[in-house]
Amino acid sequence: MNAGVGDDGLGVLLAGFSLGSDGGASSTSIQVRINPAILDREFGDGVHDFMYLPITSATGQVWLNNNLGADYANINHASFDLTQRATTYDDHHAYGSHYQWGRYSDGHELINWTSSTTGDRVNGTTPTLSSIDTPGHGDFINSSSSPYDWRSPKNDNLWQGESGINNPCPVGYRLPTEAEWIVEDAIFSTQNSAGAYNSVLKLPVAGFSHRSTGLLYNSGSNGSYWSSEVSGSDARALDFNSSNSSLFNIYRANGFLVRCIQD
C-alpha cells in the first residue's frame, strides 16, 4: 500500500529530472519526494529503517503509533504498513524491539518475531559488561550478578530527555517519564493488557528479554515498557498483564519495550 510514503517507502514522488554534467557526457537522475513519516534516529543504515506516525492520546500527549522496531514500521519487512497498529493485544508484528535500559539502537535490541510467543534475537549475547555508554557491538549484554546492569559502573543519565546520551527515539521524541506512563495508565478503560490494547496507544504484550540469558519471557501475556527514570540501581517500567498494571523497579539489563513520546 502507498500510505503516503510511496510504493518503495521512500516518499511520494513529486518530480524527476536529469541533471547533466558540465561537459554534457553524463547525467544524474534527481527525484523530488515528500514523506510525512517520522524516521527512526538511525534510518538509512539498512537495519533500523523504521518509520512512524504521530498519534494523540486523550491526555493530549503525542506518541509514536508503534513500538520502536515494530514490523509494521519496518520498510524492509513484508508487513510494513505505516498506518497499521496492533490488530490484537498479541499481534507480534506490532511487538518491536527489546532494549536494555539506557542503550542505544546498536542492534542488541532487535528481535525477529515469528509468532505471538516466539522470536529470535537478530544478534548474539555476551557476558562482558560495558564500561562505556556505547559498547561498540550489537550483542545483548548478559548480567547474572548484582546490580544486574549491562554497564559497569552504572550511568543514570542515558535516557533523560530528547537530548539524552543514548536516546533511541526519533528526533523530537524521547522515553516517557514514569509520571507520563501513570497518566496514560489511568485512562485505560481497564488497568490491564486489555485496557492497554484498547487505548489509543494499542500497546501489545511482547514480554521481555531476560537479563542473564537474553531469552524471551512472557511474550503474548505481558507488556513491559521502559520509562526514562531510574530508582537506585534499577529503572522504572510499566508492566501489564490480563489481571493488572503497575509501575515497578526492574534490573536495567533486562530487555523491555520502548514507546516514544514527543518532547
How far is C-alpha 86 from the geometric centre of its chain's CA atoms? 14
Q: How far apart are CA 87 and CA 202, in angstroms?
A: 8
pLDDT-based confidence at residue 1 (cuts at 50, 70, 90): very low
Extract the C-alpha cell encoding 239. 508492566
Task: Tell me what pLDDT residue 238 has.
Answer: 98
Parallel, antiparallel, or unpaired for β 119-121 and 125-126? unpaired
Extract the C-alpha cell encoding 237. 517500567
Q: How far apart are CA 169 and CA 259, in angstroms?
A: 8
pLDDT-based confidence at residue 181 (cuts at 50, 70, 90): very high
Extract the C-alpha cell encoding 10. 521512500
pLDDT of residue 20 exceeding 70, the answer is no
pLDDT of residue 14 exceeding 80, the answer is no
HSE of 171, CA atoms in CB hemisphere, 13 A: 6
- Helix, strand, coil shares, percent, the chain, to 5: 10, 30, 60
Q: pLDDT digits over 44-88, tens only?
A: 999 999 999 999 999 999 999 999 999 999 999 999 999 999 999
209, 216 Cβ separation under 8 angstroms: yes
Mean pLDDT, all residues of the chain? 92
Task: Tell me what pLDDT residue 36 has.
Answer: 77
Task: Tell me what pLDDT residue 18 has.
Answer: 72
Extract the C-alpha cell encoding 115. 509468532
Sorted by sequence, the CB contacts under 8 Å of residue 74 that are 6+ apart come out as 49, 50, 80
Mean per-residue pLDDT for 2-18?
A: 58
Least confident of 16-20, 112-116, 138-142: 16-20
C-alpha dihedral over 208, 210, 211, 212, to 10 degrees? -170
pLDDT of residue 142 exceeding 90, the answer is yes
Mean per-residue pLDDT for 186-201?
A: 98
Task: Tell me what pLDDT residue 35 has.
Answer: 62
The closest of 97, 80, 77, 88 to 37, measured between CA atoms, is: 80
Percent of the chain at pLDDT exceeding 70: 89
Q: pLDDT digits over 200-243, tens only?
A: 999 999 999 999 999 999 999 999 999 999 999 999 999 999 99
pLDDT of residue 132 exceeding 50, the answer is yes
Q: How far apart are CA 64 and CA 218, in angstroms?
A: 24
